Structure 1
Amino acid sequence: MKYKIAYIDESPFWINTFYQTFKDEYDIMKIKVESNCSIDEILSILKDDELDAIVTDYLLEEEGDVSFNGNIIVDAVRAYKPHFPIIMLTAHEPQAINHMDDVHIIYGKNILDGESEDELLLFKTKMKSNIDNYYTKIQDTHFKIENLITKRQKEGLDSMEEEELSKLFILLDELEPEGKGLPTNLAQKESITKLHEFVSEAKDILEQLKKINKK
């Protein structure tokens, strides 16, 4: 089964170029940015279409007649799913770098021009690894939570293990905010209700600390 990637651009040429380059490896959803597009609409696609990654152009204002560029899309996706695979592919790298916190996700569109097979192969490898690692992180988090909960029910956890479990629940909420993350057999146990309450309190404390640090 192919991974599903959304490619966001205002240019039909680059949308078609990306599609032709990656159609054999991925299921490509083509999103042409036009005047009626919004950040909420793009986030809705991410939530509803079970995407595995997003690739976006940077300079969407160039022809798309919108009030945002790709960096705003990146910020919105990261706010919703901090660990979700997202890549910026742009012909305006210097501008993108000046408006991005994470410059490591920025790549030049020249890799699609067919001039360097090695660069394209490296990009494809990185993109697939990014998605693979995302799902590995989800699986590892599930596994660690299940092990700690099993131990908690059988023999109890020490304070460090309780803290680790709380952090894992917070991480799981970031990875899968839709609430799919917790296995059904665990979600029905009474002890998990208390842990969810604790995690909710921990998030509130973290938010308060962030506000204090900004002052």
Structure 2
Amino acid sequence: MAGIVGEIAFHGDQADLATVCSMAEAQTHAPYGFGTSSWGWVALGHQRHGASPAPHGAAQPLADDRLGLGLVLAGEVANRESLREELDGDFPFRGTGGPEVALAAYHRWGERFAARLEGSFALAVVDAFREKVLLTRDADGTMPLYLARGPGLVRFASATESLHAVSGPYPSNGVHPVPPATVLLFEPSGRSVTRVLGDQDAQGVDA
């Protein structure tokens, strides 16, 4: 199993990479290791649990500087093989893992890509060129994803321990689950949009 964490900062602030590292470490008392990446206003972390390192080309966070995309994923994309066949030629695949297939799906279909994914997953995508971050969970809500909002920032994690392990401008009861089949979209201005998978309508909020 693996876990994901991240911080999104708004209004010109920078995400705190040290905080993201602490959140990743808190996922387990005996971590195999974790990785982090930063895009300035957003930082992602991925905690791997297990007895061996990730295969070559599968380490997370995934980042494609040419496309300006980054991703962390917890769980599995059950239809990754059929999606990879469909997306082959449009994306510079280096492996066959679910995270890379999910990133390729976003590259092809944009914000509505999650409706094409099957399985149990929670993920975050950074689109650096379009200046947006997207969080989503699987439709059944099998893989958890939690959110904590504070003045000028949002933190997220696939385990509540990560959010409670770091001090923040949110109360102890300010950690909430992201509803299943939900897509959350964040912009550097603080504006956020909530969309249910498959719906055409979206609800926007300014932070």
TM-score w.r.t. length of structure 2: 0.29
Q: Specify which structure has the higher proportion of strand.
A: 2
Query: Normalization by structure 1: what TM-score?
Result: 0.29
